[in-house]
Structure 1
């Protein structure tokens, strides 16, 4: 049956999952839009509940799962991307526990404190996946990993990553228990250039918020580091700083 009405209960539910963070958490479901993103979610073991497909736009074989066909008019309403490929999936969330994560000998972690912008988190996920970071951890988050804009800007890289949410106290205890070398990014004179740090061993790089940097909680809890710059500006966009750091970790491991 073709869904043609905006008042259809399934369409109302899907729209709420896109726009309402609390509803996503309560329902344990989230929305994935786009062919590649849906393929990655299924590939990495996320359980699909429903697919919503517009046949006039999606011109490939249907994926395995429960399919709902929607009109172009309805699809235009439920699609949250400027360009679209005619497929939206609803998947069950995973809520991994940091204490269940077993780091390997030279594991590298990226940690971001109180991140606020979905686009930055998505870009960070993409960099972490591209450069082989073992896990991304956000502490005291103000957005959730399943925000549609996070999934979109990560191009589905979320699904192939180890990702966790944690409080600072719990995280610091985990890092100490697992003998991580901690590298902070506090803006003070004690910071040394990142490329001079030994990142080949088990290490955790910790970044602060977009507007105020790393909190005082991390003062004295790690070796302070910075990315050397030669211009007049004294800081980078958070996602750019993480990307450069991820590359430096990989560069050291490959040399």
Structure 2
């Protein structure tokens, strides 16, 4: 089973680049559905994604229909209109690849997409002071919720030896 993040018509390159960095660090595949609100050019994305851009598996689709034709799996729609918090979703019971689908920064996901599976519309609980959290923050929260339910799959739970190593704090 694989975890995937899907951005439906993302508008802000900095958000997408930040999400690319999250995907690179968690081995999550990113799917981008056109139209994009920016050019998918490394010079626009590299500023936030830094030098992690080469470590991201991502695909671009011409439409939502194009995406669903090519990606069978279990779809979860992250929307402020959802009625279930992430903890009520049993991601560990998924039998197919998991797709976390996020909408545009300005308008979210269209109703016709959300209405297809209301039981899989997920909302991050929050008060009424704001409409929603930043897209990149929401993606990170949801990716780590799924990963947590799956015991973080093959991710390192300590600082890898290829970096500073798990005993770095003990060193003088």
* TMscore range, shorter length: 0.7 to 0.9
Matches within 5 A, 1:38-187: 106-133=1-28, 135-140=29-34, 141-166=36-61, 167-175=63-71, 178=72, 180-187=73-80
SS at match of 2:32: strand
For structure 2, the residue ranges without an aligned partner over 5 or more in a row are 153-172
For structure 1, the residue ranges without an aligned partner over 5 or more in a row are 1-105
For the pair 1:209 / 2:101, whether they are aligned, the reply is no
Higher fraction of strand: 1
Take 1:191 and 1:209, find their aligned partners in 2: how far apart are those partners? 19
* Structure with more relative contact order (C-alpha pairs < 8 Å, separation 6 or more): 2
SS at match of 1:121: helix
Larger-gyration structure (1/2): 1
Take 1:217 and 1:164, find their aligned partners in 2: how far apart are those partners? 23
**Could you give the per-residue CA deviations for residues 182-217 of structure 1, whole angstroms, max 9, x where no partner exists?**
1112332x5210121122332101111111111234
Normalised TM-score (structure 2) = 0.76
**Could you give the per-residue CA deviations for residues 43-73 of structure 1, whole angstroms, max 9, x where no partner exists?**
xxxxxxxxxxxxxxxxxxxxxxxxxxxxxxx
Q: How many residues align?
A: 145
Take 1:236 and 1:244, find their aligned partners in 2: how far apart are those partners? 10
Q: Write out the 4+ residue segments of structure 1 that deviate beyond 6 Å after TM superposition.
A: none
Is the Cα–Cα contact under 8 Å of residues 193 and 225 in structure 1 kept in the other structure?
yes
Deviation at 1:230, TM superposition (A): 4.5
Query: 75, 83, 91: which is aligned to 1:191?
Result: 83
Coordinate RMSD, CA, aligned: 1.9
